[in-house]
Amino acid sequence: MIPITIPIGSGRANPAVQCSATELQLLVSSRKRLQEWISARDFAGYDPYDVLNSPYLAKGIARTWPINILLIQIGRRFVGERLRRWLDVPVSKNPKTLGLLLSALCDLSQCGEDVRRVTMSLKGDLAQLRSPDREFCCWGYNFDFFSARGPAMLAFRPNAIATYFCAQGLLDMAETFYDVGAREMAESAARFFQQRLNRSVDEPDKLCFSYTPDNHSVIYNSSALVAAFLARLSRLSGGTETRDLSRRAMNFLVASQRPDGSWLYGNESRQRWIDHFHTGYNLCALLDYMEQCDDRSFEASLVKGYEFYIQHLFDATGAPKYFHNSLYPIDIHSCSQAILTLLAFADRDPSGQERAIRTALWTIRNMQAPEGFFYFQRHRCWTNRTAFMRWGQAWMLHALARLECAIRAVKQSPV
């Protein structure tokens, strides 16, 4: 195992990222081109799973199992934008996209950019796109989703993951701009987590939040992210109940960790895979909880998980692998989450800062189009160049903005 020391601090610190002037120029240029591309489209676009939004697939055999799953996978893997134009799939705004962009813009505000007006617009969009007829603020995806490996989700029906990233972006906005409305929406989302998600596991010392209010799924990353958000809010509000829920959920996450430090996606036989971005979610959630609550009791699990992540989910060039045992397809979501995860650990892992920069530069050189957007996936012999707004563009702006913010914070710090 590689020697890694990860001391747990009392809060998030800016990682001491070192970057040459040439590298910083490339990173900033890439981020600006992407930001302009996203803004020119008013934050709306296609999604890997939105093909059933076609008016031609709104009913009939297209909605029956397994035809619905087959159509979604065809739309995800092949033809891309051309297929969606043929089927008149509309471009649209995805709530999770807006949450990720809010977090990105809050980081850019720390770099001196005037983004307040845009964040207000995104907050308004999130208020309009929240799941209808719900007591608390919560969000789902803007398409019907069906999968053989996870729960079905109808358009705008709330789920933990979409709500987490929307709430996280709103809380970032509240802290950055002292926005009371954003804080209230984030607190309402926390009540949704506490009162509307099922407790798929509910023991005195362990807890697993369900993926949606409609099921009792056991999916490790979604439960962990919910717990991390509750921990963050408990630090801000001083609530002890949310902190206890967070600790129980982290107990469950750690108890579900495999001996080699990895996590499967879920506990069902059809969910037994280990991928890059969900592993990153687990690690960042556990680290966030430990920092927000100043709880050192999970340090051994954190180190073991991070060591597995570094050793098994990157190749020698810095490219993030999709699965722990397979490089391809190199997915843009894996690239963005790699940057974010490495940055989160960069003030604890001496190699983290260099790895985050190297992964970002690799992604820009290998996955960014001249127009500014990022490709969906690189396969061994071909590249899927579809520009998916949520899956690729929002995630990469979030990652590049956080990296730029960290670099500039170090360069402006007194020696």
| Helix or strand (DSSP H, E) at 337 | helix 332-344
pLDDT of residue 1: 35
Domain that holds residue 103: 21-48+92-139+160-412
Residue 97: inside a domain: yes
Domain assignment present for residue 220? The answer is: yes
Q: What gap in Å lies between CA 97 and CA 44, rounded to an integer?
A: 9
Query: Per the domain annotation, does 4 fall within a domain?
Result: no
Give me the pLDDT at residue 18, please: 67
Confidence (pLDDT) at 411: 58
pTM as predicted = 0.94
Close Cβ partners of 273 (under 8 Å, ≥ 6 residues apart): 264, 265, 323
Helix 352-367 crosses helix 395-412 at what angle (to 10 degrees)?
Answer: 130
* Contact of 303 with 3, CB cutoff 8 Å: no
Please, is 60 exposed, middle or buried when counting C-beta atoms within 10 Å of its C-beta (0-12, 13-18, 19+)?
exposed
| Cα→Cα distances 254→207, 227, 352, Å | 11, 13, 23
Q: Looking at the domain assignment, is residue 76 inside a domain?
A: no
The answer to whether 309 touches 283, Cβ cutoff 8 Å, is yes
210 assigned to some structural domain: yes
pLDDT at 201: 98
180: domain CATH number is: 1.50.10.20
Q: Concatenate the DSSP letters of all residues of 18-87 into one string.
A: ---HHHHHHHHHHHHHHHHHHHHTTT-BB-TT-GGGSGGGSSGGGGSTTHHHHHHHHHHHSSTHHHHHHT
Inside any domain, residue 87: no
* Residue 68 within any structural domain of the chain: no
Distance CA 247, CA 409 (A): 31
- Predicted pLDDT at 82: 93
Total domain count, the chain: 1
Q: Per the structure block, which two tokens stand in for 358? A: 């190297």
- Would you give per-residue pLDDT tens digits along the chain (415 residues)? 334 444 433 334 444 456 788 999 999 999 999 999 999 999 999 999 999 999 999 999 999 999 999 999 999 998 889 999 999 999 999 999 999 999 999 999 999 999 999 999 999 999 999 999 999 999 999 999 998 887 789 999 999 999 999 999 999 999 999 999 999 999 999 999 999 999 999 999 999 999 999 999 999 999 999 999 999 999 988 878 899 999 999 999 999 999 999 999 999 999 999 999 999 999 999 999 999 999 999 999 999 999 999 999 999 888 999 999 999 999 999 999 999 999 999 889 988 888 999 999 999 999 999 999 999 999 999 999 999 999 999 999 999 999 999 998 765 655 4
pLDDT score recorded for residue 8: 39
Enumerate the β-bridge partners of residue 323.
Answer: 275, 326
Query: Do residues 382 and 19 make contact, with C-beta atoms less than 8 angstroms apart?
Result: no
pLDDT at 350: 86
Q: Does residue 364 lie within any of the structural domains?
A: yes
Pick from 227, 314, 318: which is nearest to 277 by CA? 314
In this prediction, residue 412 carries a pLDDT of 60
And the tokens for 243?
Answer: 């902190």
